[in-house]
Amino acid sequence: MKIIQINHLVKTFNSFTALSGVSFDVNQGEIYGLLGPNGAGKSTTMRCLLSLITPTAGSIKLFEKELKTNRREILSKVGYLIEKPDFYGYLSAKRNLNLLAAYAGKKISSTRIAEVIEQVGLNGRENDLVKTYSHGMKQRLGLAQVIMHDPELIILDEPNTGLDPLGIIELREFIKQLKQQGKTIILSSHILSEIELIADQMVIINQGKVVLNGSVHDLLHQDDLHVVFELGAVEKATSVIQTSQWLSQLESKTATTMVFNIKQPEIGVLNHFFNENNVQVTGISYRRKLEELYMSMTQNIK
């Protein structure tokens, strides 16, 4: 079942186009990564998904129903955390959750609230005032708010912003647990490595457009690499490459380096080729093609 279907989504703010024909689907039970540089359109996409802003054009279906005409029914099945969580600092975590449940018109038992507090690791601190909480603890409380009504779809916008390394790891494990419970999760990030570790599918958005979409495994585990050889004598290397099998895999060169599009096992073979031809190799580094693409997009954003 497709939990999310976004088709040709457009959003303009006066003369600025934030989204330009964004389309992607999210299947039930998947962790779906929405990736892109800051300002790429990730948050705008999520706000459209949650009906917080109205698209200029295009359509959105959640649970195979039009969001526009089934908003209340659909959003009752969704939990979301957009930007940083906001709570009453002069109240306890437990009291905040009780109030938020009441504001949403949901009947959530004290037993359920105790369960989610334990699930996010705040048990023992649930009666402390939120103003005494660290950023990471407030983020945990935000996650408790997201899941307390047991939603089928969870939407998280940059959920690891401001977390320390341990907090990021704990959040990652928490999201994996939600998937094991049968939840569908869509989360945005500008960190490629984090999406690689957690997501099943991913879409990269840049300047309001989808530039890449597919399976994380397929996209991030391609054999082809961009391999940079740092060389002592590029002119000599150029001469020996001209009459070799490696010429077709040479992508570019500078005064000190040559960049090849080759597979990982070929790195050692090419290194041996240079050594045999008395070309000194002073360093080797590589990136996967997707990393190269993503880095170039991030660097070129204006």
Q: Residue 91 in contact with residue 99, Cβ under 8 Å?
A: yes
Question: Are 197 and 247 in the same domain?
Answer: no
Q: What is the pLDDT of residue 36?
A: 86
The CATH code of the domain that includes 107 is: 3.40.50.300
Question: Are 112 and 240 in the same domain?
Answer: no
Domain boundary residue among 202, 218, 234? 218
Question: Are 150 and 64 in the same domain?
Answer: yes
Question: Are 62 and 211 in the same domain?
Answer: yes
Q: Where does residue 74 fall: left (phi above 0), alpha (psi -120 to 50 degrees), or beta otherwise?
A: alpha
Question: Could you give the CA distance from residue 290 to residue 276 in angstroms, rounded to a whole number?
Answer: 32
Q: What is the pLDDT of residue 254?
A: 92
Question: Are 20 and 77 in the same domain?
Answer: yes
First to last CA, the chain: 38
The domain in which residue 8 lies consists of: 2-218
Enumerate the β-bridge partners of residue 189.
35
Question: Are 189 and 280 in the same domain?
Answer: no
Q: Is the pLDDT of residue 302 over 50?
A: no
Q: Where does residue 78 fall: left (phi above 0), alpha (psi -120 to 50 degrees), or beta otherwise?
A: beta
Question: Are 177 and 230 in the same domain?
Answer: no
Question: Are 81 and 11 in the same domain?
Answer: yes
As for how many domains the chain has, the answer is: 2
Q: What is the pLDDT of residue 301?
A: 47
Average pLDDT over residues 54-62: 96
- Read off the pLDDT of residues 205-243 as tens digits, 9 standing for 90 and up: 989 999 888 888 777 666 678 899 999 889 999 999 998
Q: What is the pLDDT of residue 46?
A: 94
Question: Are 190 and 265 in the same domain?
Answer: no
The CATH code of the domain that includes 288 is: 3.30.70
Domain boundary residue among 165, 197, 218? 218
Question: Are 88 and 233 in the same domain?
Answer: no
- Read off the pLDDT of residues 250-264 as tens digits, 9 standing for 90 and up: 989 999 999 998 888
Average pLDDT over residues 71-100: 91
Domain boundary residue among 159, 194, 218? 218
Q: What is the pLDDT of residue 289?
A: 62
Question: Are 103 and 193 in the same domain?
Answer: yes
More confident residue, 59 or 106: 59
- Read off the pLDDT of residues 122-149 as tens digits, 9 standing for 90 and up: 999 999 999 999 888 898 999 999 999 9
- Read off the pLDDT of residues 182-193 as tens digits, 9 standing for 90 and up: 999 999 988 777
Residues 6+ apart with CB under 8 A from 292: 226
Question: Are 212 and 246 in the same domain?
Answer: no
